[in-house]
């Protein structure tokens, strides 16, 4: 637990110090003498261990000290004095200072979870005082899964927070949605705040806690960027006392998970292809013979053969089949060639400590993950140091430095796609065992694309490196007892370099002698946040507030170059012969904001909060440059009421809030009318009209109403229920224009989307004896509805359509009606008009006639997580499950692999259990007849490939063993724990594809919820040890 400097907690002390002053003055003037002597003692916690850093003070008097590393203290006090012992998280104790001592005290931890301290961004509050909707995830709950990504670790840990990974490749990103998606084209990711300043990043091992701010009362203070929620990350800080050294190391193996998706082996593929091509040959042969009979009524076999040959058709079936498949098929397992067992190695060392004036934390982390797909890996090294120093009673300075370095290797050979599309009939190796060179002119290589990635893999390269440096300096100045001023400043610099080499020896490289691509990127960002922080109390009234301003500037530039004609083995631009292309972008944006927040509480029973923020940004149009965002919140802590006395209910609090935040457009210059000058013709630079101007372009405005109740029962059950409604107005949409006008869209603020839902978090301590069991459960139910669009006109988005009255991600495509029992053709639903003009629904085998219909949405019905923690003596067992239910996911892979013969040269997927293929009239089957080159467009996008994407995943299981105190003491260590942990071991789903976890981002106008071939997530098993010195 961190020691906090929140003025609010100092209020009782402030009042008391005033009193103290008067008393001392009186004492001095009255000349009364006192008997003071040195009082010593020791403070221990409930387990008997010494407690360093405990504040020992004299009640109602000046003077105080802190316990040292052994829990001991020494203090001058009068015999009549009362000594108070306080420590965050523990109940305060008072003992009389009379006598010689020793004054030993045992402190008991605070049972009331409501006194937990939560960092809500700009300030820290006690959980009992929060009137907004927040979820907190502590470090130990965060660090169960082994990953280098904080967002990935958040999956399922906070209600209403949906985290989805785009790919299982180590180092790849994730997308986060808090309480559903409320926008179409602006960002949907929550705002990241690290250590009180917007922006920044933190290595997971350096994180103390993560708080997710969900409603407007919590996020209001972040104004125009808070529409999607805020993730507040607090990094670790040292504690006064003995220097702590913590080592954590783990190592394990990764294996790719395949889901339910499997492709055919050599014999299965041959049987499948042979069926199709036999029918094809029979049809063609009879058609030609019939044609021949037009001129020669009874042709001889020789005449038939001659005619077929003149038409380029084989004269026998085996001869025809020979053109498409081998007699005896090989059985190459391409997936086996493309995937391997990888490893994860995670090493972290941190040192922290300090004294009353200075505290420090140093954290280092080395993370190395070898991916399961060949040629992929990720290494990262992170260094952080947090330093805090009280210069004197008035000034305190904090400095933080975070440096991160990453190196990523991507697969340059196309192994992922080829692992499924390549035909098992091919041998990837030469007779001598070396990889075979294969290109479009290679004979005897089966398959539509002539690719052999093992060959390319030897020579091509695709890698990137990144650096991220952030420096924070914060100066706090205590102006008066109730007012202080803090200036927080952060400067961040990132650098990245990406390189791709297509070697001259590879098929692609042969065309132009090899190609080298380099891309350099640079960003810097400066933010200064200057706040006055005040707190004051009058009787039972407590007031506090912050006010101030922020300024932020972001800049980025980059350079991309491609050169061709480079000798094998070389890798610098100097070595290329022809400069093929040169490009580079540059961009800047600025924000200026003023903010104010006020908190009021009466006797810790009634709470109210108001926040206001004025943002002005260079991204908005000149007419709407600045905007005011506000929120109100109120709460009633019923459990603190004098009339409320219950043994069972220890916490009862009601909360409500209302507020307006904003969402900023993604581009930096979207409001200007621009002629893009990045084109040329015949060597002369030109410019083309890119966008229509919109001086009114401004932020989107989500308005959120939230009502919540926190109930605590038996001091063992903790329940939070929140109901919310968030309406995102003024959505930035590319309003479609008739293309004949020369512009096919105009960027405007139109449209509105509403999200409604319920978030529930339940934490229970089921068993608390020697065998402990506690559960944490969260579930988020969200319903999404589009409220307004420009003139209520629908917007097409790939396979989805945005339409008023429907979910934002509604699938709009042809509706599959199964297979025609009589002829094995595909069927779709269509609407026809009968003789009387009435419309009726029927089926058709003509794909162009099928109607487009709304056939479901990709938004889940509910998402959540369930964690269980068991401990018995030195053993502990954690299991965490996350689940998503009710989303309809489009498996785009099936357009290729489940295509009924439309791609006869690719491999095909095996039919899942319950699927069947039509073969003769009368067959009732799920799949149409397999026909060479396709069966009536049966593989075109339709609800056929729309599947239930619900899943339950055992995200993590960890079994741990902590060495007993006796042993650790002998080793002169403070704590040793061994553990074995497994990630993603089991996924239960009916989804037929690789992974039902869908990317939540959309690129441009594409649909959300489409899953294709993706880098699969890894099942990991790791062994590790944590040692504290």
Partner 1 sequence: MIKKYKLAVALLLILSATSCKDSLDLKPYNALTSDQVVNTVEGLTAATIGTYTYIKDSYYMRNYHMLSEYASDNVSLSGTTTGPLFYAYNYRHLDNMGNTEQIWRKGYQAIYGANVVIEKGVPGENLEMNQLIGENYFLRAMLHFDLVRFFGRPYTDDNGESLGIVLKTNTDVNELNPRAKVKDIYALVVSDLLKSIELMGSTKSNIFASKEVAMALLSRVYLYMGNYEGAHEYADKVIKSNRYALVGSANLASYYTVAPGGDQKMQETIFGIKHDAKDDRGDNSIGSMYFTAGGDNSYGEMYASQSYRKLLDKFPNDLRHAFVRPNYEKDKDGNIKLDGNGNPIVAKRNGYPIYYVMKYSYQDNIETLSSPVILRLAEMYLTRAEAAIKLGRPDEAFADVNLIRERAGLKGQELFSASNMMGYTDMLDVVLDERRLELSFEAQRKFDVFRNKRTMVRDYPGTHLPSGQITQEIPYTSPRVIYYIPRSELTVNPKLIQNP
Contact predicate 723/214, CB 8 Å: no
- The answer to whether residue 430 forms part of the interface with partner 1 (CB under 8 A) is no
Closer to partner 1 by Cβ: residue 555 or 606: 555
Closer to partner 1 by Cβ: residue 311 or 540: 311
| Helix-then-strand count for the chain, H and E | 13, 53
- The answer to whether residue 833 forms part of the interface with partner 1 (CB under 8 A) is no
Element (H, E) at 370: strand 358-370
From 82-90, 400-408, 547-555, 877-885, span contacting partner 1 (CB under 8 A) = 547-555
Closer to partner 1 by Cβ: residue 219 or 506: 506
Show contacts with partner 1 in window 733-792 (CB under 8 A). 736-744, 746
- The answer to whether residue 433 forms part of the interface with partner 1 (CB under 8 A) is no
Instruction: Show the site string, 625-644: x = touches partner 1 by CB under 8 A, - = not.
Output: xx------------------
- The answer to whether residue 278 forms part of the interface with partner 1 (CB under 8 A) is no
- The answer to whether residue 684 forms part of the interface with partner 1 (CB under 8 A) is yes
Closer to partner 1 by Cβ: residue 301 or 312: 312
Size of the site for partner 1 (CB under 8 A): 100
Cα distances (angstroms) measured from residue 622 to each of 267, 693, 696, 986? 67, 11, 7, 53
Show contacts with partner 1 in window 910-949 (CB under 8 A). 931-934, 937
> Cα(908)–Cα(448) distance, rounded to whole angstroms?
13
> Cα(203)–Cα(380) distance, rounded to whole angstroms?
10
Show contacts with partner 1 in window 876-895 (CB under 8 A). 895
- The answer to whether residue 306 forms part of the interface with partner 1 (CB under 8 A) is no
Show contacts with partner 1 in window 188-227 (CB under 8 A). none
Show the DSSP H helices in 559-632 as ranges: none
Q: Measured in whole angstroms, how far is the alpha carbon of residue 38 from the centre of its chain?
A: 56
Among 634, 672, 721, 767, binds partner 1 (CB under 8 A): 672
To partner 1, the closest distance from the beta carbon of 857 in angstroms equals 20
- The answer to whether residue 291 forms part of the interface with partner 1 (CB under 8 A) is yes
From 127-135, 198-206, 478-486, 774-782, span contacting partner 1 (CB under 8 A) = 478-486
Q: Please, how many CA atoms are within 13 Å of residue 999, restricted to the half-sphere of its CB? A: 19
Among 674, 705, 925, 985, binds partner 1 (CB under 8 A): 674
Contact predicate 743/717, CB 8 Å: no
From 42-50, 79-87, 275-283, 1019-1027, span contacting partner 1 (CB under 8 A) = 275-283
- The answer to whether residue 805 forms part of the interface with partner 1 (CB under 8 A) is no
Contact predicate 864/882, CB 8 Å: yes
To partner 1, the closest distance from the beta carbon of 413 in angstroms equals 11
To partner 1, the closest distance from the beta carbon of 507 in angstroms equals 4
> Cα(734)–Cα(744) distance, rounded to whole angstroms?
9
To partner 1, the closest distance from the beta carbon of 473 in angstroms equals 17
To partner 1, the closest distance from the beta carbon of 608 in angstroms equals 26
Among 29, 538, 681, 840, binds partner 1 (CB under 8 A): 681
Among 301, 312, 432, 647, binds partner 1 (CB under 8 A): 312
Closer to partner 1 by Cβ: residue 162 or 529: 529
Q: Give the N- to C-terminal CA distance of the chain in Å, as an integer.
A: 18
- The answer to whether residue 184 forms part of the interface with partner 1 (CB under 8 A) is no
- The answer to whether residue 580 forms part of the interface with partner 1 (CB under 8 A) is yes
DSSP state of 522: E
Among 479, 573, 577, 971, binds partner 1 (CB under 8 A): 479
Among 282, 316, 341, 623, binds partner 1 (CB under 8 A): 282
- The answer to whether residue 530 forms part of the interface with partner 1 (CB under 8 A) is yes
Closer to partner 1 by Cβ: residue 466 or 558: 558
Tokens representing residue 498 in the block: 């990406």
From 167-175, 194-202, 861-869, 900-908, span contacting partner 1 (CB under 8 A) = 900-908
Strands in 946-948's sheet, in edge-to-edge order, are 946-948, 888-891, 1010-1011
Contact predicate 436/455, CB 8 Å: yes
Q: Please, how many CA atoms are within 13 Å of residue 947, restricted to the half-sphere of its CB? A: 23
Residue 263 CB neighbour total at 10 angstroms? 21
Tokens representing residue 703 in the block: 């308005």
> Cα(945)–Cα(621) distance, rounded to whole angstroms?
43
Closer to partner 1 by Cβ: residue 682 or 769: 682
DSSP state of 584: -
Q: What is the torsion angle, in degrees rounded to the nearest 10, for the CA atoms of residue 192, residue 195, residue 197 and residue 200?
A: -50
> Cα(149)–Cα(167) distance, rounded to whole angstroms?
13
From 210-218, 399-407, 597-605, 690-698, span contacting partner 1 (CB under 8 A) = 690-698
From 177-185, 588-596, 952-960, 1015-1023, span contacting partner 1 (CB under 8 A) = 588-596
To partner 1, the closest distance from the beta carbon of 810 in angstroms equals 15
Among 146, 421, 451, 992, binds partner 1 (CB under 8 A): 451
To partner 1, the closest distance from the beta carbon of 933 in angstroms equals 6
Contact predicate 966/975, CB 8 Å: no
Residue 437 CB neighbour total at 10 angstroms? 14
To partner 1, the closest distance from the beta carbon of 553 in angstroms equals 9
Cis status of the peptide bond prior to 102, with omega within 30 of 0? yes
Report the alpha-carbon angle 193-194-199, nearest 5.
55
Q: Please, how many CA atoms are within 13 Å of residue 727, restricted to the half-sphere of its CB? A: 10
**DSSP codes joined into one string, 922-957:** T---SBPPP-TT-STTTTSSBGGGEEE--EEEEEEE
DSSP state of 355: -
- The answer to whether residue 592 forms part of the interface with partner 1 (CB under 8 A) is yes
Q: Three-state secondary structure along 726-755?
A: EEEECCEEEEECCHHHCCCEEEEECCEEEE
- CB environment 915-937: b (16+ within 10 A), e (fewer): eebbeeeeeebebbbbbbebbbb
Closer to partner 1 by Cβ: residue 278 or 974: 278
- The answer to whether residue 589 forms part of the interface with partner 1 (CB under 8 A) is yes
Closer to partner 1 by Cβ: residue 106 or 512: 512
Among 91, 189, 794, 948, binds partner 1 (CB under 8 A): 794
| β partners of residue 989 | 951
Among 686, 861, 873, 986, binds partner 1 (CB under 8 A): 686
> Cα(201)–Cα(807) distance, rounded to whole angstroms?
33
- The answer to whether residue 431 forms part of the interface with partner 1 (CB under 8 A) is no
Any residues with CB less than 8 A from the CB of 204 and at least 6 apart, and which? 142, 143, 147, 148, 149, 150, 153, 365
Instruction: Show the site string, 481-520: x = touches partner 1 by CB under 8 A, - = not.
Output: ----x----------------x---xxxxxxx--------
Tokens representing residue 289 in the block: 């013979």
Among 1, 62, 679, 971, binds partner 1 (CB under 8 A): 679
* Strand, helix or coil for residue 426: coil
Cis status of the peptide bond prior to 494, with omega within 30 of 0? no
- The answer to whether residue 905 forms part of the interface with partner 1 (CB under 8 A) is yes
- The answer to whether residue 903 forms part of the interface with partner 1 (CB under 8 A) is yes
Strands in 810-814's sheet, in edge-to-edge order, are 795-797, 800-802, 810-814, 852-857
Show contacts with partner 1 in window 316-345 (CB under 8 A). 323-324
> Cα(455)–Cα(506) distance, rounded to whole angstroms?
8
- The answer to whether residue 668 forms part of the interface with partner 1 (CB under 8 A) is yes
Among 397, 616, 804, 952, binds partner 1 (CB under 8 A): 616
From 258-266, 426-434, 761-769, 902-910, span contacting partner 1 (CB under 8 A) = 902-910
Show contacts with partner 1 in window 118-157 (CB under 8 A). none
Closer to partner 1 by Cβ: residue 455 or 658: 455
């Amino acid at each position: 637990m961190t020691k906090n400097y929140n003025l609010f907690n100092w209020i009782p002390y402030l009042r008391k110090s005033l009193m103290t002053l008067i008393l001392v003055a009186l004492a001095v003037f009255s000349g009364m003498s006192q008997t003071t002597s040195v009082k010593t003692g020791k403070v221990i916690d409930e387990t008997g261990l010494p407690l360093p850093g405990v504040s020992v003070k004299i009640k109602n008097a000046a003077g105080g000290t802190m316990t040292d590393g052994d829990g001991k203290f020494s203090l001058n006090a009068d015999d009549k004095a009362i000594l108070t012992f306080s420590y965050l998280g523990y109940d305060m104790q008072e003992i009389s200072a009379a006598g010689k001592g020793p004054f030993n005290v045992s402190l008991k931890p605070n049972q009331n979870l409501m006194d937990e301290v939560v960092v809500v961004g700009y300030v820290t509050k006690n959980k009992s005082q929060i009137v907004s909707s927040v979820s907190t995830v502590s470090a130990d709950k965060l660090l169960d899964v082994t990953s280098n990504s904080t967002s990935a670790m958040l999956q399922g840990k906070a209600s209403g927070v949906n985290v989805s990974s785009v790919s299982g490749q180590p180092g790849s990103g994730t997308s986060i949605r808090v309480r559903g998606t409320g926008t179409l084209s602006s960002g949907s990711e929550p705002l990241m705040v690290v250590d009180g300043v917007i922006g920044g990043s933190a290595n997971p091992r350096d994180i103390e806690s993560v708080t997710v701010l969900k409603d407007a009362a919590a996020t209001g203070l972040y104004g125009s960027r808070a529409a999607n929620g805020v993730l507040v990350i607090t990094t670790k800080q040292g504690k006064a006392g003995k220097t702590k050294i913590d080592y954590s190391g783990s190592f394990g193996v990764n294996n790719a998970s395949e889901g339910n998706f499997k492709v055919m082996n050599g014999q299965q593929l041959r049987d499948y292809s042979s069926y199709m091509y036999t029918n094809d040959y029979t049809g063609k042969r009879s058609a030609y013979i019939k044609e021949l009979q037009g001129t020669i009524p009874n042709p001889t076999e020789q005449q038939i053969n001659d005619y077929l040959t003149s038409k380029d058709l084989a004269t026998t079936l085996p001869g025809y089949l020979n053109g498409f498949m081998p007699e005896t098929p090989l059985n190459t397992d391409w997936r086996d060639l493309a995937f391997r067992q990888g490893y994860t190695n995670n090493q972290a060392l941190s040192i922290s400590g300090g004294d009353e004036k200075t505290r420090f934390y140093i954290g280092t982390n080395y993370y190395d993950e070898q991916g399961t797909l060949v040629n992929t890996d990720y290494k990262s090294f992170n260094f952080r140091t947090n330093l805090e120093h009280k210069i004197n009673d008035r000034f305190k300075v904090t400095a933080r430095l975070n440096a991160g370095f990453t190196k990523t290797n991507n697969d340059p050979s196309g192994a992922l796609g080829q692992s499924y599309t390549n035909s098992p009939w091919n041998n990837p190796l030469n007779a001598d065992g070396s990889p075979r060179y294969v290109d479009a002119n290679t004979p005897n290589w089966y398959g539509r694309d002539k690719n052999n990635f093992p060959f390319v893999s030897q020579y091509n390269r695709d890698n990137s490196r990144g650096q991220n440096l952030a420096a924070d300096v914060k100066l706090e100045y205590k102006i008066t007892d109730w007012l202080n001023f803090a200036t927080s400043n952060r400067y961040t610099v990132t650098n990245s370099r990406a390189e791709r080499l297509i070697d001259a020896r590879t098929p692609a490289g042969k065309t132009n002698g090899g190609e080298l691509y380099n891309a350099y990127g640079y960003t810097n960002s400066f933010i200064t946040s200057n706040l006055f922080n005040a707190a004051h109390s009058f009787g039972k009234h407590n007031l506090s507030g912050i006010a101030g301003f922020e300024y932020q500037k972001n800049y980025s530039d980059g350079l991309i170059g491609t050169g061709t004609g480079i000798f094998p083995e070389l890798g610098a631009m100097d070595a290329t012969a022809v400069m093929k292309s040169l490009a580079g972008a540059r961009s800047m944006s600025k924000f200026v904001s003023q903010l104010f927040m006020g908190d009021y509480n009466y006797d810790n029973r009634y709470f109210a909060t108001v926040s206001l923020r004025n943002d002005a940004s260079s991204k908005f149009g000149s007419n709407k440059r600045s905007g005011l965002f506000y929120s109100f919140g109120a709460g009633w802590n019923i459990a603190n009421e004098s009339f409320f006395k219950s043994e069972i209910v220890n916490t009862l609090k009601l909360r409500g809030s209302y507020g307006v935040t904003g969402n900023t457009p993604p581009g930096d210059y979207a409001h200007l009318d621009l002629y893009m000058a990045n084109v040329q013709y015949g060597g002369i630079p030109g410019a083309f009209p890119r966008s229509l101007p919109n001086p009114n372009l401004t932020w989107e405005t989500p308005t959120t109403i939230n009502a919540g109740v926190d109930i605590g029962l038996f001091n063992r059950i903790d329940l939070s229920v929140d109901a919310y409604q968030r309406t995102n107005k003024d959505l930035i949409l590319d309003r479609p224009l008739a293309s004949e006008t020369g512009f096919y869209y105009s960027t405007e603020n139109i449209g509105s989307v509403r999200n409604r839902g319920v978030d529930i978090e339940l934490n229970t301590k089921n068993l608390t004896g020697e065998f402990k069991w506690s559960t944490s459960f969260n579930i988020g139910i969200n319903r999404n509805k589009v409220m307004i669009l420009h003139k209520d006109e629908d917007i097409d988005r790939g396979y989805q359509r945005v339409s008023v009255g429907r979910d934002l991600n509604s699938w709009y495509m042809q509706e599959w009606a199964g297979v025609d029992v009589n002829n094995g053709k595909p069927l779709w639903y269509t609407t026809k008009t009968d003789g009387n003009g009435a419309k009726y629904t029927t089926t058709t085998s003509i794909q162009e006639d099928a109607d487009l219909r709304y056939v479901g949405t990709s938004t889940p019905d509910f998402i959540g997580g369930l964690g269980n923690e068991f401990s018995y003596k030195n053993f502990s067992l954690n299991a965490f499950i996350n689940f998503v239910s009710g989303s309809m996911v489009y498996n785009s892979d099936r357009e290729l692999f489940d295509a009924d013969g439309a791609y006869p040269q690719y491999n095909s997927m095996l039919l899942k259990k319950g699927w069947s293929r039509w073969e003769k009239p009368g067959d009732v089957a799920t799949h149409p007849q397999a026909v060479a080159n396709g069966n009536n467009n049966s593989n075109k996008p339709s609800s056929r490939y729309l599947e239930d994407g619900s899943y339950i995943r055992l995200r993590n299981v960890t079994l741990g063993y902590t060495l007993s105190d006796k042993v650790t003491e002998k080793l002169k260590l403070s704590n040793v724990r061994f553990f074995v942990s497994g990630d993603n071991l089991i996924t239960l789903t009916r989804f037929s594809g690789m992974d039902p976890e869908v990317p939540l981002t959309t690129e441009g106008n594409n649909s959300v919820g489409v899953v294709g071939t993706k880098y699969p997530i890894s099942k990991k098993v790791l062994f590790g040890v944590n040692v504290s010195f």
